[in-house]
Amino acid sequence: MEIIKKYNPDLIISDCKYSTVIASKFLKKPYYVITNQNYTRTHNKEKYIVYPVMKMLNVMNKSAKGVLIPDLPMPNTVCEYNLTKLNNLTFIGPLIRYKLDDYDEVKRGNYILSVIGGFEYRFRILELLNKVAEEKNLKVKMVCGSHEVAEKLRKIKKSKNITVIPIATDMENLIKNCSFIVCHGGHSTLMEALSFGKPVITIPDLDHPEQENNARKINELKCGIALSHKTLNYDLSYAIDEINNNDIYFKNAEKLSRLCKNYNGRDNIKRIIDKFNNVQLDGEYVLNKNAKLEFKI
């Protein structure tokens, strides 16, 4: 509240930080909420906590100028099973770090990119991926998330085709030039992968409903394969072969990549702010406050 009072903004955009939303309401400042989940479906015991919390948060979401979903519209919404309908909910398209306009075509690279940080129980994924890569003579680049994990992995790797990267400094090119991606199933990583037209193997964290729901949708869109920690020893090798040998995953990922360019979250968030401020941009008068926001399709 002190920060808002100091800067006196015209508009507040909150990325799921509801302390900011509460402060905005108290100070009667208009706000938008950017989120990829407002009703995470789960059959696990977590629902007794998740559902009441989501219900309370949606009370605040409904009073926002808009709830912005950084994902593709239905039926191609990756976070579909983490959402419930609100009257002020809008799909703005992927809000990723990279400018997709810089890339005219999808490139199918010659290596698998793993972006799984190998902390605690996750390290067994890297061990298993290392084993499969050696057996099948696959080229793999592993982003580990820390120097400690990278050192542990270097001690067990034998194949020269496996590159261990402690901390990635050029993730854009790693994604752009890979064949497909192995990841947990976090929404941001999935949207980056699909924006570049890359299929994914998703391995959701244990008891993580949001990632499990994202992985479920990836399966349905046939742009990747969702695996479980419980059957990973048997399924990882199969999943790698399936994606490498079945073009349907690459075709579907490329189709979604084209949609991501049309539903460009970076451009659309600018339109929303321009609409709110009723400003002039590049000499062209943009949407006024009563105009309907339109997206390229």
- pLDDT tens for 80-132 read 999 999 999 999 999 998 888 777 778 889 999 999 987 788 899 999 999 99
- pLDDT tens for 39-90 read 888 877 777 777 888 888 888 899 999 999 999 999 999 999 999 999 999 9
Least confident of 151-160, 191-200, 216-225: 151-160
Question: Which stretches does DSSP call E strand in 72-150?
Answer: 89-91, 112-114, 140-143
CA–CA gap between residue 153 and residue 205 (Å, rounded): 20
Whether residue 11 is predicted with pLDDT greater than 50 in this model: the reply is yes
- What three-state secondary structure class fits 208? coil
- pLDDT tens for 275-296 read 887 643 443 333 333 434 443 3
CA–CA gap between residue 265 and residue 61 (Å, rounded): 19
Beta strands at 112-114 and 180-183: parallel, antiparallel or unpaired:
parallel
CA–CA gap between residue 91 and residue 70 (Å, rounded): 6
Task: Taking residues 214-234, report their average pLDDT.
Answer: 95
Whether residue 204 is predicted with pLDDT greater than 80 in this model: the reply is yes
Tokens 């057996």 sit on residue: 135
Whether residue 246 is predicted with pLDDT greater than 50 in this model: the reply is yes
Residue 182 has what DSSP assignment? E
Give buried/exposed letters for 157-195 (b at 16+ CB in 10 A, else e).
bebebbebbbebeebbebbbbbbbbbbbbbbebbbbbbb
Structural domains for the chain: 2-95+263-285 (no CATH), 100-260 (3.40.50.2000)
CA–CA gap between residue 207 and residue 211 (Å, rounded): 9
Whether residue 30 is predicted with pLDDT greater than 60 in this model: the reply is yes
Q: What residues have CB less than 8 Å from 291, skipping those under 6 apart? A: 275
Task: Taking residues 234-253, report their average pLDDT.
Answer: 96
Whether residue 8 is predicted with pLDDT greater than 50 in this model: the reply is yes
Asked whether 78 and 191 are in contact (CB, 8 A), the reply is yes
The chain-wide mean pLDDT, for the chain, equals 88
Measure Cα distances from 31 to 6, 9, 12, 35 in Å: 17, 10, 5, 13
Q: How many CB atoms lie within 10 A of CB 254?
A: 19
Least confident of 6-20, 111-125, 190-204, 270-284: 270-284
Whether residue 10 is predicted with pLDDT greater than 50 in this model: the reply is yes
